Structure formats: C-alpha cells, structure tokens
Amino acid sequence: MNLLLDTHIFLWSVLEPSRLTPAVREALTNGDNALWLSPISLWEVLVLAEKGRLELDTEPEAWARTALKQCPVREAALTHAVTLACQRVTLPHGDPADRLLAATALVRNLTLVTADRRLIDTPEITVLANR
C-alpha cells in the first residue's frame, strides 16, 4: 500500500507514536507499505514551529532533516497535475494545505493517513483513518 502521511501523522510518528492507533502504527511499520510525504507537510511543520504552536528540541530545519532520516519517506512532489486536481476534491473548508494533500493523494493514487475528520470524509480519496 502507498501511504501519504498527513502532517500530524508524520509529527506523531516521530514525536508521539502513542497517538497513532494500532492499525496506523502497523501500517507505518509494515515494510510492504511505501510511505510518502508532501513538501506541504514539511512547510506546515516549519510554520507551526515558527508560530510557537509546535515545540521542537532543535532548530526547525535541522529537526525536519533528522525526522526525515528517522521516518524514511518518499517525496510526493507538488506538481502541476496536483495543483490542477485541487479543484476536483470536495472539502468542507478552505485550508489550502489540506486541499493540496487530498489532491496529491488523488493524483498519485495514495491512501491518505489522517485523523482529520474533514479529510476522512473526502469522497474522492482513499483514507486510512487514525480513529
């Protein structure tokens, strides 16, 4: 299975794995599954740290580099196709990061791993819910 990690799932997998359900934990550690991360998620981590909403034990960019080594993921690049697909996903809110993540999952045929109810209910994508 190809899994796209929502930003909070990536953070929890590194900082608070106890927040992951057993099913999600198993999926993330299953060697048959490929883990993907959007650059949008790294950007969100940096913004959260900059705003003081996320405390890290080191400078945010250095933390992100270390986290990427600790949780090896493939880069789900932001492409023109992903950007165009943003109009094809139905979200009940206007968060551009969520729209880009959903469009990435749609275009790349990835299962989005999330605890966000608004993304879980997105009909156009496949989701592994952390619930």
> How much of the chain, in percent, has pLDDT values that exceed 70?
100
Say if CB 9 and CB 101 are below 8 A apart.
no
Q: Which helix (H) or strand (E) holds 2?
A: strand 2-5
Q: What is the pLDDT of residues 70-116, one digit of tens each?
A: 888 999 999 999 999 999 999 888 799 999 999 999 999 999 999 99
Extents of the domains making up the chain: 2-129
Measured distance CA(55)–CA(111) in Å, rounded: 28
Name the average pLDDT for the chain.
96
Task: Look at the domain 2-129 and name its fold.
Answer: Rossmann fold (3.40.50)
**How crowded is the C-beta side of 101, counted as CA atoms within 13 Å?**
33
